[in-house]
Amino acid sequence: MATAIPLGALAERLGATVEGDATQSVCGVGTLESAGPGQLSFLANPKYRRQLAECRATAVLLGRDTDCPPGFTGTRLRVADPYLAFARASRLLYPLPPVEPGIDPSAVVDASARVDVSAQIGPHAVIGAGARIAAGVVIGAGCVVGRRVSIGTGTRLHPRVVVYDDCVLGDHCILHAGAVIGADGFGLAWSGERWEHIPQVGRVVIGDHVDVGANTTIDRGALEDTRIGDGVKLDNQIQIGHNCVVGEHTAVAGCVGIAGSTRIGPRCRIGGAAMLNGHIEVCADTQIGGGAAVINSIREPGVYVSVTPLMPFAQWRRNAAQLRHLDEFGQRLRALEQLTGLRDRAAGSNETPEGE
């Protein structure tokens, strides 16, 4: 449920300048097109400016130099970055539900586990031996927290999250339903006749303020730990293999697959459905487009894409037919270059020296 906040108080929290009635309150958010009285909206993309004239929101977040059309009669909150301010305002208007300390009678908590008195343990949750649950933690219904797991202050596990033995979650993390932390990595050895499992003896260590989306899986390390840095944001249905390292404040969109022992630097952005090969490195401040296949290490920051643009099937089939002959074309080109080089050298040797 949203919380009503006077615009003057909201502006103070956001560092905004108020143009209009600061005594009014807002208790929700909406788009320029859908927002009504009592709601807050924002204009970050200039192409939506025409919608501002007819916007019925009580207040709108605008850039400090953005022109406001005369049709908008609501209050204007001027900020440096409207989208960032909108994100912060939304968190103020829609705070997380308060923690309700206590252990549900149906939960199973091992006698050796240490659960802070301010933590909330939901129905049918299981807390293993030696686990440490810090102050303000919320463990949702049906969660399983393994032996010797450590969960930091204020972290929240939504229903059915599983955290395997010995893993570590930092402070103020959010793990959504179905996330699995610390399952075995894909460690196998071929005997010549069959695959043999390699025990995965590392952990998963997650930093502070990390978000993990629904049904995302992070495998434990084979020998060393899989590590997720502070402030990392992981979308739904991501697979992170064993021994990976994801640098702080990196954001990864849905359905990305990151193979084992890959190291991703800080502040990277990885688009949806991208696939990263194992045992490679991606340097800091790299942006990878959706659907990209990253085969080799990226050592220079920048924007990288590799997805083939959508095209009609007949055109794609013609291009694919040409692609099958690419190696042949390359050989023919090299042969032609060699012939051209021989011809040029022959022509040079036949030239009459100057002065003869």
Catalytic residues: 242
Q: Contact at 8 Å (CB) between 78 and 67?
A: no
User: Left, alpha or beta for 331 (phi > 0: left; psi -120 to 50: alpha)?
Assistant: alpha
Nearest to 64 by CA among 17, 22, 20: 17
Which of helix, strand or coil describes residue 218? strand
Sheet holding 162-163, edge to edge: 108-109, 126-127, 144-145, 162-163, 180-183, 217-219, 239-240, 257-258, 275-276, 293-294
Nearest to 3 by CA among 97, 115, 139: 97
Report CA-CA distances (Å) from 11 to 1, 19, 25, 40: 21, 10, 11, 12
Sequence-ordered alpha helix ranges (H) in 5-119: 7-14, 49-52, 82-93
Q: Which residues of 131-170 are buried (b: 16+ CB within 10 A; e: fewer)?
A: bbbbebbbbbbbbbbbebbbbbbbbbbbbbbbbbbbbbbb
Q: Contact at 8 Å (CB) between 112 and 106?
A: no
List all residues 6 or more positions away from 291 whose beta carbon is below 8 Å from its beta carbon.
271, 272, 273, 274, 306, 307
Structural tokens at position 338 = 């060699």
User: Left, alpha or beta for 88 (phi > 0: left; psi -120 to 50: alpha)?
Assistant: alpha
Report CA-CA distances (Å) from 125 to 150, 158, 184: 16, 11, 22
